Amino acid sequence: MEKILSLLLLATSSQCFADSVYIGADYVSSNIEVSNEDVEPKATALRLGVSNNNMAFEAQYLFSNDTDNIYQVEFDLKKSTALFFVMQSDVVNGFGLDVSVGYAINDINVSGPTETINDDFQYKGFAWGLAVHQDIPYIKNTHVRLGYQSLYNKDDIEITAISLGLTYQF
């Protein structure tokens, strides 16, 4: 949590160099694939970014809403924190495209019967994403956003997310 707070402080202190600051909230359908078995815990993501000349730095905090299981072993994406560099297209006819690259830290809790694995795991590394957004008519500076993110993909473990949410640009 301290890392996110310091990232948010950095983002807000660089506001004097930014064209705009934005905040977003997304409903997230995450997917954790372990050895070709999938679980899909649901989550919520909060995003804060600063943008200048179609480039942005974005901090993201994702927290779990529920768990999913494989063979009675529950997987919970407790939280995911990430920092992204976002390349933004120009908005044409109300639509825009964002491509993001960055670094994510994912905390997963695994629990099940006593003879199975019961532990917390942390996966961190390269992350990337694509998002398309559209202006909402009659609501100034607000966009609806649909995105895909790869938060981790290594060592037979893949963490991805599809999100749908709102972004407000100050």
Domains and CATH numbers, the chain: 2-169 (2.40.160.20)
Separation between Cα atoms, residue 26 and residue 45, nearest integer Å: 5
Contacts of 93 (CB under 8 A, 6+ apart): none
Residue 11 in this model has a pLDDT that exceeds 70: no
Give 140: exposed, middle or buried? Use CB within 10 Å, 0-12, 13-18, 19+.
exposed
pLDDT band at 28 (very low <50, low <70, confident <90, very high): very high
Residue type, 83: L
pLDDT digits (tens, 9 = 90+) for 104-122: 998 887 777 777 777 778 8
- Mean pLDDT (the chain, rounded): 84
133 in Cβ contact with 169 (< 8 Å):
no
Confidence tier at 17 by pLDDT (50, 70, 90): low
Q: Over 50: is that where the pLDDT of 15 sits?
A: no
Using one digit for the tens of pLDDT, what is the confidence trace for 80-111? 899 999 999 988 888 999 999 999 998 887 77
